[in-house]
Structure 1
Amino acid sequence: MKSEANVIQLYSRRVYEDIMTFIGKFESKHTQKNYERSIRNFFLWLHNVNKDIEHLTVDDLKVRNADMLRYQKYLKDHEADYTHITINSHIAPIQSLYEYLETNEYPINSKHTKISMLSDDTEITGSLYLNEAEEMARLFLQDRKLGQEKYALIRTAYTTSFRKSSLLSLKWSDIKKNPLAENYLVTTIGKGNKRHTMPISVDLYNELLKIKGQKYYHKYKDDKIFHLSPNTIQTMMNNIKKKMGILPERNIKFHSLRNVAASFGTIEEAKKHLNHSNISTTERYRKHTAEDYSNSISLRIEDKIDDSILEQLNKEELIHLIMMQNNGTLSQIKREAQELIQIKGEMNN
């Protein structure tokens, strides 16, 4: 006669095997991995379960509609700053699993997992430009409380394009001197557990070091660089937008700082910088730099302007014209100017 422990173990094994059978029906290994991760995270979160899927029993599968709504809110409030699309992608596998288990005669009701999906917010986060991000950093530096930390956080955010969760997880041990150049390398584990290394300037590194000189900082012993909570960051962003007169319709968020670098370099460079797996995601980030229809190919192809037009401008007018270009173009012009000056210097020597 089987003991109660053996029966529980038998049912536990059956639940796990059926879950893995459900996951295995998808041909894509990527889909299988994502589904398993979403399902594992849900049962680890569920307050009355808190188990790995290997140990689930039939009783553990009982879920209320209220639980699903609470889980959705938990993901919305998560410090990882998930988009609505990401949250939906975490919940959909759970709903599909419950339909599958109900079909296979488990004593559950899959309707309990049905909740309204969040709206597509891929275009919602507003675009922020470099001059605005730099102004934000300068204004935060004037704060009497945590000014240096806020300033360094903003600069690191728009320079590296790291996500908020990655920034708040950064430790001093994650920064190493670049042995091949005069800069520092910062490494973080980003979305999808992808390792991402980004160089930062000596100047920015020195600004980070100044955080250690703040009186309050000595109470921390965790090696972390930043100790601002997600709520504090939300409040400081709300305040700075009012101070700068940024209209609510622009919907600027902390995540907008990640967009700043998208306008620099080629789309392939931006993809690498933003650590995107798919270039179509990068294209969405760059949209705000390509909405000037006056510069469209359909107009430029008919626009015959003689090269001599530039000779009619004086030095001040040419400089003004150059400085009016978008950040990516301006950065490229500066780099090429620097190279020309270096070549001239070498020729004179």
Structure 2
Amino acid sequence: MNATKNNIVGLHIGSVYEDIQTFISKFDSKNTQTNYERSIRSFFMWFAKKPLELLQREDLHVRNADVIKYQTYLRNHEADYTNTTINNMMAAIQSLYEFLEINEYGVNSKYVKVDVLTDDSESAGDLFHHEAEAMANLVKGHKKGQEKSALIRLAYTTSFRKSSLLNLEWTDIKRNPEADHYLITTTGKGGKKHTVPISAELYNELELIKEQKYYQQYSDNKIFHLSKTTIQNMMDTLKMEMSIPDERNIVFHSFRNVAASYGSLEEVKAHLNHSDINTTNKYYRHKMKDYSQSISLRMEDKLDDDVFELLSKEELIRLIKQQAVGTVIQMKKEAIEMTNKREMNN
């Protein structure tokens, strides 16, 4: 066993792979090391069709056109990489080639320079549950309305990315034998399988797509047959019909973030299929903050503890329903517990 291991290590002494590992190891952050290695592996698997361990010096010679083509490949990738993610991946490759050039590899680092993509970290504006629900209802009046409506509902319920939704097949949905709901599975970024339960009601909405006359022409087992252009036009029309201003930056990806209003940070992390909880934290709270609820203002409020006693039952119920979705759901759960305890005591 040790002899085999030593032979494998021996193959990499003074090799391209060893020098790449030296480059990666110079970064103190383990997270940076992991991200750089993943980005570099991805590039050479695309460009040289080889893992890092098998690279030869001749595999490193790349044209600027090749690198631009790779950047375009990432932009069109089914993983729906953000521009920020792509910029980070390209930066790792550029940094590696600067290292290789300094170490006399006969490469020119300027050949891997590409234009930095526009920062789109704010491109997916925040959408609230009632707005997403209104869109799903409103779009039923459009062409292919049932299919578009089901797509929107599935998008904000599962938080699957657009590419994952469009790749779904009917066989990706299974009835949960232990409960009255269905399990839907997709493959997300990095080839990670992700399964999310959906209600029987939502599954029935999907089934209604099959009843549409135009749908009979398809036999590929795909659930949705909507192009990205059609989806973009759908979003533009819905925003116009609902008078949603452009500055809110509402795009299809906004449906993915609707779930951030529900559950704990850990629950949202699992639902969004994030590897890093810091990524989840960016989506956990809506960016359109209600500054009236800021600590600096609330601490100055002098509120009467008995103010709720002054409200009628109808006013109190209306007040409760106006709270954030997550708050209302938690109150409903506690109300059920209270009524159950009361019935047990009686």
Instruction: Return the TM-score normalized by structure 1.
Output: 0.83
- Structure 1 distance, partners of 2:82, 2:105, is 33
Partner of 2:89: 90
Q: Which range moves more in the overlay, 157-166 or 338-347?
A: 338-347
2:237 to 216, 236, 239: 239
Specify the code of the residue in structure 2 equivalent to 1:93: A
Contact 1:23 1:32 in 2 (8 A): no
Partner of 2:301: 303
Size of the alignment, in residue pairs? 331
Partner of 2:142: 143
Q: Structure 1: where are the runs of 5+ without partners?
A: 1-12
CA shift for structure 1 position 86: 1.0
Specify the code of the residue in structure 1 equivalent to 2:117: L
Q: Deviations over 1:317-340 (max 9, x none)?
A: 112211211111122222333444
Q: Deviations over 1:185-232 (max 9, x none)?
A: 112222232222211111001111112222333333332212222232
Tell me: CA distance 1:78–1:193, structure 2 relative to 1, closer, same or farther (3 Å).
Answer: closer
CA shift for structure 1 position 294: 2.0
CA shift for structure 1 position 31: 5.4
Q: Deviations over 1:21-52 (max 9, x none)?
A: 40464347765664454345435555xx6x33
Contact 2:23 2:99 in 1 (8 A): no
CA shift for structure 1 position 314: 0.8
- Structure 1 distance, partners of 2:234, 2:257, is 19
CA shift for structure 1 position 176: 1.5
CA shift for structure 1 position 233: 1.7
CA shift for structure 1 position 147: 1.4
Percent of residue pairs identical = 57
Contact 1:19 1:97 in 2 (8 A): no
Q: Deviations over 1:262-313 (max 9, x none)?
A: 0112222222222222222222113326722222234334434333211111
Specify the code of the residue in structure 2 equivalent to 1:75: L
Residue 161 of structure 2 corresponds to residue 163 of structure 1: yes
Partner of 1:283: 281
1:318 to 278, 297, 316: 316
- Structure 1 distance, partners of 2:18, 2:38, is 12
Tell me: CA distance 1:345–1:221, structure 2 relative to 1, closer, same or farther (3 Å).
Answer: farther
Partner of 1:4: none
What value does the CA root-mean-square deviation take over the aligned residues? 2.9
Q: Deviations over 1:210-257 (max 9, x none)?
A: 122223333333322122222322222122212221111111111100
Q: Structure 2: where are the runs of 5+ without partners?
A: 1-10
2:205 to 204, 207, 218: 207
Contact 2:126 2:287 in 1 (8 A): no
